[in-house]
A and B are shown apart, each in its own frame.
Chain A
């Protein structure tokens, strides 16, 4: 049923690929859109810079802009040492941005509307921070949880809170992106459903009245475009902030 707002999130198996134990690995619509994003991003950057012009064309300008935007974000939040993670943050940002944007096209599938995807990305960031922090600073990394200048009698409480906030990072990191994308798409679908509902229930008057929810969709579409960009940016900048903790664990 077209008006079902959940329908758009369904995983559709296209063809099976392999079996691991009892689990069947399937090439799904989600996988297709992930690979589409890889192709789109690579094409954008490679075709955009094909001429390597000194004075860039529009596409080259956009490619350079994406590079400098992420580079500036990484450098300003994680310092120049953070630039070793620049390819990682750039890949994260562009991947999330692109799948979010592709998801805004009607009839497409939004990869980031699945908690398993955002959770995997967030856990990747979490493990990168944890492992790099331990590799760089050894056990000094855990100074992150011990703020300086805190009286000794409330230190256990502070450390407990710090550890809790550190451990809950991947949860908030992943749920924020997942929930934003999910809610936005459901809202769009619900308002689109109103048009069908009014049209089929009230005939011509209903179709005319459908202009109202349609206008709402137009506005929401602009909002969702902003959210698609903003969530990718928030994910990237939080990654930078967490990486900064790994690079400079002293508070």
Chain B
């Protein structure tokens, strides 16, 4: 109530307007209205032209910054995903190549081994055939010798038993007959 202006200003008399209650003193209305219009229009202009666009721009720039950052993070994530995919692809390629090299090596090795085995086998077969031939020759020779020995032995035995030597034809026939049996 100690409004400083109270002393210098003049109060509206209590009996003015519609009575003593200040809000109903109509002679104050014109001044209040005029100043309300002045204050309100001034405030509206300041808000609409200056303060609100300013605050709005700050909020907008922050929102834009956030959106940009999120977009950048998304782009980076795509990039890293791509890098991971490329890495995995390279890994798979390398693995496939290693597999291919291993297979190829294994095949060439197997082929070489097969070739060696074959030549060795052939060699052995040749040797075997040779050996069999030798055996057969030896056997034939031995068989021929056996016949001669048998004939000699038979002639000697017969000579010792009967005192006379049998004819060669008879001994040969007898031995051949015996060998046949």
Contact = CB atoms under 8 A, between A and B. Distances in A.
Contacts of A204: none
Contacts of B148: none
B62 interface: yes
A11 B58 CA distance: 40
A46 B51 contact: yes
Nearest to A56: B58
B68 to A, nearest CB: 12
Contacts of B37: 120
Interface string A17-32: 0001001111111111
Contact of B58 (A8, A28, A29, A64): A64
A45 B46 CA distance: 10
Interface in B7-35: 8-12, 20-25, 28-35
A67 B24 contact: no
A120 B35 CA distance: 11
A120 B41 CA distance: 13
Nearest to B56: A67
Interface residues of A, number: 58
Contact of A87 (B12, B25, B39, B52): B52
Contacts of B20: 6
Given A86-B52, A87-B44, A11 B32 contact: yes
Interface in B119-135: none
A226 interface: no
B52 A67 contact: yes
A68 B57 CA distance: 12
A56 B9 CA distance: 44
A81 interface: no
Contact of B9 (A12, A34, A38, A121): A12
A138 to B, nearest CB: 27
23 contacts: A9-B22, A11-B32, A12-B3, A12-B10, A20-B30, A24-B30, A27-B35, A28-B28, A30-B32, A42-B43, A42-B46, A42-B47, A49-B55, A64-B58, A67-B52, A87-B52, A90-B52, A91-B44, A113-B23, A114-B28, A116-B32, A117-B32, A120-B33
Interface of A: 2, 6-14, 20, 23-32, 34-35, 37-38, 41-42, 45-46, 49, 52, 54, 56, 60, 63-64, 67-68, 86-88, 90-91, 94-95, 107, 109, 111, 113-117, 120-121, 124, 178, 182
Given A20-B30, A91-B43, 5 more contacts: A13-B10, A38-B39, A49-B55, A90-B47, A117-B32
